[in-house]
Amino acid sequence: MNATDAIRIALNLSYEWTLALAEDLADAPFTEPTPGGNPPMWIVGHISFSNACLLAMIDGEASKLETWQSLFAGGTQPSTDPTQYPDYGDVLQAFRDVHAQALAILEQTGDAGLDEAPPAIPDFLAKMPELQTKGKVLMFVALHQIAHRGQLADARRVLGRKPMA
């Protein structure tokens, strides 16, 4: 197996496992997994927004989700007020679109380009060792979404739903 295959597997696995939980919560996107915890709306929006910004570092183009910064950037305060957010269906679609973008960038980069530096690293991320190559950024995308998956599972648990197999 080459590095591109390994990253594709990580991207697909973390996406599929996270998407299943996110879709299951479409009827309850403002459920707090813990008192004051991040509801699914914020979690899925945050993953989508952040991963789109990470991918913009590789392709050098502005993130298509940059208008969501005040809602979903790290450090923003999640709300359970639906009027403050886009429709959850749109947020789920953004999650799907960002995954497709990640796969397209991976294919375009190929094994030969994984060790190249991303051309557009923002200054505040420039010293993070885990973001210094295109391959590391793509792995970070996979790990970022799987890291938030537990919050979605906790929101389901609060709703009394059985664990997904």
The secondary structure of 90-123, three-state, reads: HHHHHHHHHHHHHHHHHHHHHHHHCCCCCCCCCH
pLDDT tens-digit series, residues 51-86: 999 999 999 888 999 999 999 999 999 988 999 999
**Residue in 158, 125, 122 with CA at minimum distance from that of residue 33:** 158
Whole-model pTM: value is: 0.95
pLDDT tens-digit series, residues 19-36: 999 999 999 999 999 888
